[in-house]
Structure 1
Amino acid sequence: MFSPLRTVVVVSVAAVALLAVGAVLGRREKVIPAPPAAAAPARADRLAASISRAQDRLRKLPRDHETWAVLGLAYVERARVTGDPSLYPKAEGALRRSLQVRPTGNPVVLVGLGALANARHEFAAARKYATAALRENPYDADAYGVLADAQTQLGAAAAATAAIQRMLDLRPGLAAYARAAYDLEQRGRLTEAAGLMRRALDAAVDPADIAFCRSQLGDLALSTGDLEGAATEYAAGIAADPSYQPLLRGRARVAAAAGRIDAAIADAATVAARTPTPDTLLAYAELLRLGGRAAEADRQLTLADAAHRIFVANGGTDDLTGAQLALARGDADAAVTLARSEWLRRPFAEVADMLGRALHAAGRDAEALPYARHATRMGPRNAAYAYHLATVLLTVGDRPGALVALRQVRDLNPHFSPTEGPVAARALAALEARR
């Protein structure tokens, strides 16, 4: 049968655009990736210089709509690189000024507004802006990238795949490859996803691009429980570009899975210090708690909550992270409310999983079960989703169903979590001993 991503295997990797717009900030775990165009510190410095030049030009030419749009995009990108959502209002101000100067015939600013909306997790708005940009310029690859990111998060898988394919047709490069690989991964086609990233790596020359590809390959290896393969990819990526934070985070996860908790904590601390976002702080807190350092873990949860409030204060919407923070505090009812709010906004696999977990924690397993099943259907090769389904099935008394789910966890990735993985293994052993 024809695959909508069939043409991926024949296109070549082109140069990555300076601004890989459409990145999603503040999400936990896997993101739709935006490839780096340079090492993080150098990238931030270059963006700062670009912002300064745009500001200088606008002081002389305040009605230059293109420079206002470029400035807004630069702010969005700098927020992505630094993890600083306080740049979002500046980005919006610049982009709105561009739109004010040129209300029509200005597709670049629509792409910028879409990228900003994605960054703030306003995915329906991002889809609207990307669609409007494509009405003005149907050959804009960046607009298709913004559209693909939004459709993915809104649970419109087929529409996301179509947008990614169009992006590949128009400008086959690392940004398109990364989205295509993520799309395949979401559908459980991990071997094909790794194949795409391997092709991108073969064509990569810039150290930052190599680091990005290695990070994606490491994540894919880790998702199948291949600790050695993941460690090899992360080490090669760090050798190419030590500043790329996802590599350190991946290395921390490998170390934790291998029982080297102190090494995992050290890497997680570095990542959280450099990019203190809710997800990095929560990951650090989990490892600290695993290492018996509960007071320090609680401090990181407090910081994660503050980072989340900063994100929201700057126009972001993220009840998914809010639900996770509530669960970490032991407030299951608040987690249910927040997760349900997010589910109504976007029926995505990660949100279904979170809502199922929250309902389970609240003792409402009959309600949790449909969401846990939905997450496993939408993410068919995700060991965490399978484990969370197993916990609900055990609680409602479906031991045969739980056994199937726990065996799936073992087969997919027994190292999916340093805390839940061992619990899953013990539960599976207990059920098999009863047979």
Structure 2
Amino acid sequence: MDNQQEGREERRPRIGRRALIGAVAGCAVLGGLLVLVPWGPSGGGPPAPAPGAQALAAVTTGVPAALPDLAVLIEERESHLRRNPKDAESWAVLGAAYVEQGRRTADPAYFPKAERVLRTSLKVRPKGNVEALGGLATLANARRDFPAARKWAEAARELAPRRWTTYPPLIDAYTGMGQYKAAKKSLDRLLELGSGPAVLARAGAVYRDHGWREDAAASFSDAAASAQAPAERAAYLERGGQLAWERGDREAALRHFRQAVRLDPDQRAALAGQGRALAALGRTTEALSAYRRALARQPLPQYALELGELYEALGLGQAARVQYDLLRERVRTAEAGGADEALVLGLFEADHGDPESAVRRLRAEWERQPGIAVADALGWALHQAGQDEEALRYARIATDRTKGGAVRNALYSYHRGMIERDLERSGPARRHLQEALRINPYFSPLHAPRAHRALKELGEPAAEPLPEFE
């Protein structure tokens, strides 16, 4: 048994089931904070909140919102601000809605709009504007600009250290910067101040990053069970499905992803998740269809890379190249909107393009925000560029618990094993390749078969001779 069970009560305190979203019956939003209000005199339950009110409650508490509701909220706030341009809080709400819309649709054009309106909110109310500061932190996280996110989130915390919504953007920023102890400390503070499905889901993400997969799965499951709004519940089901996928449970992952899409047809991450799970189950026609639908609705570079590698694994080189061209185009579009796509582009170039350019890009990324995912990608790019000794240093950071790499990720272990194989370190190479396939035997349609072939070439370890005594 590993160390997951030790100290679990310290890591994951009991979190109450109070829902913190506006769709929860009897909640209203005042100044960005949720408060309970009584039912009407009929006693028959509250009327359903209007779509704009539902989205308002979501974006002011940092939980997923339904896309149609977001569109209503954006229209309402834009109309209101034309008449009331000095309403700093409405500018902040509009900025948060733009960020969520850009994130959900993978349309980076929303990000510059979000930045403009959030900075307008700060101009209208320069002091004490924690809503705008939190919105700018969330925007920076969505752009993968974690140093900026940390700056804005820490400023928000200075203003409102007892406000639970201050802490999720701070946790994301610390994680992106590779500051995992600070992320855990912020989570502990969040658990002291808040409860409900949004807090449970945030805890699950941190537990996952620390390698505590059982705790993470329980947190995502509890979050989905206690969420009331379909879009929020679907988002937490998708996270649970991703966790199931990472541990190689194809059937459970597919169930989570399908349930998420049934609840919220706009849950595009779950559509891509279906593509992964179906491909692992050998249902390639369905997998290709799911990936195409995900890309049509949320054209993220990561999805194009995954679909391209699936085509390549099937021997469909021309179809793969179409997706790789799409990936490059989407990276350019995202970067024009201020988003940082160095990680996915670096991985792509390392495997399918120019490894030297991948090394240059990822070195700069590591200097700016040295997270575990960047360490893995830089190590792999260095390997593909023929610099294996230096590559192994970064691969160790990504996989060695003592160096921060606590997350259990099959791709990271595979990368380390392949680097060690080429360095003729057969024992460690065998161990890490076996670990990759033990974590998730289906982690990649392209790389998992290569891991099997490499293990076969390495063969069984040589038996050590017994000592002889005279």
Using structure 2 for the length normalisation, give the TM-score: 0.84
Question: What's the counterpart of residue 108 of structure 1?
Answer: 131
| 1:381 aligns to 2:408 (yes or no) | yes
Q: 1:394 to 1:122 in 2, by over 3 A?
A: same
**Aligned-partner Cα distance in 1 for 2:79–2:294:** 34
Q: Which of 348, 353, 358 is equivalent to 1:330?
A: 353
Q: 1:92 to 1:10 in 2, by over 3 A?
A: closer
Q: 1:80 to 1:4 in 2, by over 3 A?
A: farther
Q: Secondary structure at the match of 1:148?
A: helix
1:44-59 alignment, distance < 5 Å: 44-59=67-82
Question: What's the counterpart of residue 34 of structure 2?
Answer: none
| 1:255 aligns to 2:282 (yes or no) | no
300-309 or 268-277, which deviates more: 300-309
Question: What's the counterpart of residue 465 of structure 2?
Answer: none
Q: CA deviation at 1:89?
A: 1.3
Q: CA deviation at 1:234?
A: 2.6
Q: CA deviation at 1:2?
A: 5.2
**Aligned-partner Cα distance in 2 for 1:252–1:47:** 27
**Aligned-partner Cα distance in 2 for 1:213–1:67:** 28
Q: 1:237 to 1:322 in 2, by over 3 A?
A: closer
Question: What's the counterpart of residue 12 of structure 1?
Answer: 17
**Aligned-partner Cα distance in 2 for 1:160–1:256:** 34
- Counterpart residue identity of residue 392, structure 1: I
Percentage of pairs with the same residue: 38
**Aligned-partner Cα distance in 1 for 2:396–2:21:** 38
- Counterpart residue identity of residue 183, structure 1: V
**Aligned-partner Cα distance in 2 for 1:291–1:35:** 38
Between 1 and 2, higher relative CO (CA 8 Å, sep ≥ 6) is seen in 1
Q: Which of 64, 88, 105 is equivalent to 1:36?
A: 64
**Aligned-partner Cα distance in 1 for 2:182–2:461:** 46
1:229-240 alignment, distance < 5 Å: 229-240=252-263
85-94 or 321-330, which deviates more: 321-330
Q: 1:2 to 1:414 in 2, by over 3 A?
A: closer
**Aligned-partner Cα distance in 2 for 1:305–1:61:** 41
**Aligned-partner Cα distance in 1 for 2:155–2:307:** 40
Q: CA deviation at 1:258?
A: 2.1
Report which of the two structures shows the higher radius of gyration computed on alpha carbons. Answer: 2
Q: CA deviation at 1:201?
A: 2.7
75-84 or 195-204, which deviates more: 195-204
| 1:276 aligns to 2:281 (yes or no) | no
- Counterpart residue identity of residue 135, structure 1: E
**Aligned-partner Cα distance in 1 for 2:219–2:307:** 31
Give the conservation status (yes or no) of the 8 Å contact 2:197–2:222. Answer: no
Question: What's the counterpart of residue 442 of structure 2?
Answer: 415
**Aligned-partner Cα distance in 2 for 1:50–1:392:** 50
Q: CA deviation at 1:44?
A: 2.3
Q: Which of 420, 443, 463 is equivalent to 1:393?
A: 420
231-240 or 195-204, which deviates more: 231-240
Deviation by residue 1:311-359 (Cα, 9 ceiling, x = unmatched): 1112223321231232254201000011111111112111111001100
Q: CA RMSD in A?
A: 2.2
Q: 1:161 to 1:79 in 2, by over 3 A?
A: same
User: Deviating runs (4+, > 4 A) in structure 1?
Assistant: 1-5, 17-23
**Aligned-partner Cα distance in 2 for 1:161–1:326:** 33
Deviation by residue 1:5-46 (Cα, 9 ceiling, x = unmatched): 6454342251336466699xxxxxxxxxx7533xxxxx2222
Give the conservation status (yes or no) of the 8 Å contact 1:223–1:416. Answer: yes
Give the conservation status (yes or no) of the 8 Å contact 1:35–1:174. Answer: no
| 1:133 aligns to 2:133 (yes or no) | no
Give the conservation status (yes or no) of the 8 Å contact 1:21–1:142. Answer: no
- Counterpart residue identity of residue 64, structure 2: P
Give the conservation status (yes or no) of the 8 Å contact 2:60–2:93. Answer: no
Deviation by residue 1:24-70 (Cα, 9 ceiling, x = unmatched): xxxxxxxxxx7533xxxxx2222222222222222222212111111
**Aligned-partner Cα distance in 2 for 1:120–1:234:** 25
Question: What's the counterpart of residue 27 of structure 1?
Answer: none
Question: What's the counterpart of residue 31 of structure 1?
Answer: none
Q: Secondary structure at the match of 2:14?
A: helix
Q: 1:66 to 1:214 in 2, by over 3 A?
A: closer
133-142 or 366-375, which deviates more: 133-142
1:154-233 alignment, distance < 5 Å: 154-233=177-256
| 1:349 aligns to 2:372 (yes or no) | yes
Q: 1:309 to 1:169 in 2, by over 3 A?
A: same
| 1:432 aligns to 2:459 (yes or no) | yes
| 1:312 aligns to 2:341 (yes or no) | no
Q: Secondary structure at the match of 2:144?
A: coil
Give the conservation status (yes or no) of the 8 Å contact 2:60–2:96. Answer: no
Q: 1:370 to 1:112 in 2, by over 3 A?
A: same
Q: 1:348 to 1:417 in 2, by over 3 A?
A: same
| 1:299 aligns to 2:322 (yes or no) | yes
Give the conservation status (yes or no) of the 8 Å contact 1:188–1:381. Answer: yes
Q: Which of 353, 363, 366 is equivalent to 2:389?
A: 366
Q: CA deviation at 1:429?
A: 3.0
Give the conservation status (yes or no) of the 8 Å contact 1:276–1:307. Answer: yes
Higher helix residue share: 1
Question: What's the counterpart of residue 29 of structure 1?
Answer: none
Give the conservation status (yes or no) of the 8 Å contact 2:95–2:114. Answer: yes
How many positions carry a matched residue from both structures? 420
- Counterpart residue identity of residue 12, structure 1: R
Structure 2: gaps spanning 5 or more residues = 1-5, 23-54, 463-470
419-428 or 225-234, which deviates more: 225-234
Deviation by residue 1:142-165 (Cα, 9 ceiling, x = unmatched): 221111110010001011112122
Q: CA deviation at 1:93?
A: 1.1
**Aligned-partner Cα distance in 2 for 1:420–1:22:** 41
Give the conservation status (yes or no) of the 8 Å contact 1:13–1:200. Answer: no
Using structure 1 for the length normalisation, give the TM-score: 0.91
Q: Secondary structure at the match of 2:347?
A: helix
212-221 or 268-277, which deviates more: 212-221
Question: What's the counterpart of residue 42 of structure 2?
Answer: none
Q: CA deviation at 1:228?
A: 2.3
